[in-house]
Amino acid sequence: MNPSNPGAGLCIGVSACFFHADPMRAIFKGKTLEYVEQSMAHYVMRQGALAYLLPTPPPGGQVQLADLVARMDGLVLQGGSDCAPGSYGEEPLNPRWAGDRIRDDYERALTHEFLAQGKPVLGICRGAQLLNVAFGGTLYQDIGTQLPDALVHRDWDLYDGNHHDVQIAEETLLAGLYGAGTHRINSVHHQALKDVADGFLVEATSPVDGVVEAVRLDSDEAWVYAVQWHPEFQTKGDGLLDPDPLMCAFLDAARGED
């Protein structure tokens, strides 16, 4: 591996965000859009890997999910819409938090197929929540409602300019990358992990309110990692955690060097 180009030769799949069919939308009227946010694609490609949007396979078509996964070396689950409470056995506390069950099902299927093929998965923001749900965990549907004494983890006006501390536990993957202790991250989420799924280890929390900020699947057979913040919105030298060590650790796993 070239240290200056750790992703060289790797093909990384990025799960799609969805704009579902909307007959009132001015463009692509009545059509479903599947897309990747630019910062996420750049985050992957900055290390030399190729980023590929993974669309949903056509129903009854010749291309199956396993075919898409077979061409990839790893999966990034990007941020976006809420997970649907129904995906973890709850009803929405508010209609605004009904979430996207279609995307949940698509990303859970992607996750399990990547793991079945022995390939690593990195979840970011919604991706962290989706992984927790996919392995049997639950979520706080709205931090402000269910944890009223918590920090403001999502400020619409500040967006990724909303920052707070994160406490990284000792003897963890993150501690190996950044050192244990207190660091600074962005925060753009109103939902959070509640019951952490069996088999996941908490590696970082918000020290003020205990909100889970990073988890890892405790397995020698699979590399599954997730962070609640958006490393793709952070840059080296901006006072926040350098995003690149985390991506490089994921790419090492994709190359089989973890």
Report how many domains make up the chain. 1
| Dihedral (Cα; 52, 224, 79, 255), 10-degree rounding | -30
Residue 201 belongs to domain spanning: 11-254
- What single DSSP character describes residue 123? E
* Catalytic residue list: 125, 230, 232
What is the predicted pLDDT for the residue at 60?
82
pTM for this structure?
Answer: 0.96
What is the predicted pLDDT for the residue at 133?
98
> Is a pLDDT exceeding 70 seen at residue 2?
no
pLDDT band at 258, cuts 50/70/90? Answer: low
Q: Is residue 2, in this structure, part of any structural domain at all?
A: no
pLDDT band at 68, cuts 50/70/90? Answer: very high
**Domain of residue 181, CATH code:** 3.40.50.880
Q: Is residue 215, in this structure, part of any structural domain at all?
A: yes
> Is a pLDDT exceeding 90 seen at residue 233?
yes
Q: Is residue 1, in this structure, part of any structural domain at all?
A: no
pLDDT band at 1, cuts 50/70/90? Answer: low
- Tokens of residue 76, six digits: 């990034």
Q: Is residue 5, in this structure, part of any structural domain at all?
A: no
**Measured distance CA(220)–CA(227) in Å, rounded:** 20
**Measured distance CA(160)–CA(140) in Å, rounded:** 21
Coil vs helix vs strand at 214: strand
Q: Is residue 48, in this structure, part of any structural domain at all?
A: yes
Rounded mean pLDDT, 216-232: 97
What is the predicted pLDDT for the residue at 6?
86
pLDDT band at 61, cuts 50/70/90? Answer: confident
Q: Is residue 228, in this structure, part of any structural domain at all?
A: yes
Q: Is residue 247, in this structure, part of any structural domain at all?
A: yes
Q: Is residue 160, in this structure, part of any structural domain at all?
A: yes
